[in-house]
Amino acid sequence: MQEIEAKFYVADLAVVRDRVLAQRGRQLKPKLLERNWRFDSADGRLRSSRQVLRLRQDDQAHLTFKRSLGTPEERLEIEFGADDPQAARAFLEALGFNAFASYEKRREVFDLGGAHIALDELPYGPFVEIEAPTLEEVRRAASALGLDWERRVQVNYLALFDEFRNRLNLSFSDATFANFEGIPRLRPEEIGLKDAIQAIDGWSQ
């Protein structure tokens, strides 16, 4: 199936959450810790072709494959549940894929007029991810929440982590909350990201 989404760096997730609720957004998932493992072959052919093979674990496990359909917002996505995450990992390894990195986030998900709004806290900053059936609906939801479309993030979370890792000369390859404890805080603006929250009349910014 086709996945259409856009990601935004925001300085304050609470502002966006308030805007979602003010427009009668409905919570689909409470805030949960989500762990993600990225897999690739030994020759790195998935990464070199901008494809993603991922095992995700929150209140359940999912296997996901993604590849670009030509723009950062449009991708082919195949995802299905896995009852046993350890068996899913063993399955991938038996096929010659191994985990090369992992990352964590705390995610809360809302429905807003058919668009899914994910409020994500990562070890290196807060982000909003909007997913909807069409690009027009993604843009409409972003506009409704006062998010500047021109400031959307063009890369995935792991690529963002690589920017932080290179800037801070970090030795670890896993973007976990535990690994970031005691690390000097690097603001997302320092790697070129801009706060996407815009003022909306009558609402806080």
pTM > 0.85: yes
196 in a structural domain: no
Burial class of residue 20 in the structure, from the number of CB atoms within 10 Å of its CB (0-12 exposed, 13-18 middle, 19+ buried): buried
Residue 32 has pLDDT above 60, yes or no: yes
Q: Write out pLDDT tens, residues 122-155.
A: 999 999 999 999 999 999 999 999 999 999 999 9
Predicted confidence at residue 202, as pLDDT, reads: 56
- Cα 24–chain centre separation: 23
Structural domain that includes position 92:
2-191
74 in a structural domain: yes
Q: Are 122 and 107 in contact (CB under 8 A)?
A: no
Question: If we measure between CA atoms, which residue out of 7, 144, 162, 166 comes closest to residue 72?
Answer: 7
94 in a structural domain: yes
Report the domain count for the chain: 1
- H or E element at residue 171: none
**The token pair that represents 45 in the structure block:** 């052919």
**The token pair that represents 157 in the structure block:** 């979370």
Q: Write out pLDDT tens, residues 48-96.
A: 998 999 999 999 999 999 998 888 899 999 999 999 999 999 999 999 9
Predicted confidence at residue 190, as pLDDT, reads: 86
Predicted confidence at residue 188, as pLDDT, reads: 87
205 in a structural domain: no
185 in a structural domain: yes
Percent of the chain scoring above 70 in pLDDT? 98
Q: Write out pLDDT tens, residues 71-82.
A: 889 999 999 999
Predicted confidence band of residue 203 (pLDDT cuts 50, 70, 90): low
CATH number at residue 27: 2.40.320.10
Q: What are all long-range contacts of 180-184, with beta carbons under 8 Å and residues at least 24 apart?
A: 180/123, 180/124
Predicted confidence at residue 201, as pLDDT, reads: 59
The pairing of strands 2-9 and 125-131 is antiparallel
What span, in angstroms and rounded, lies between the C-alpha atoms of 26 and 16? Answer: 14
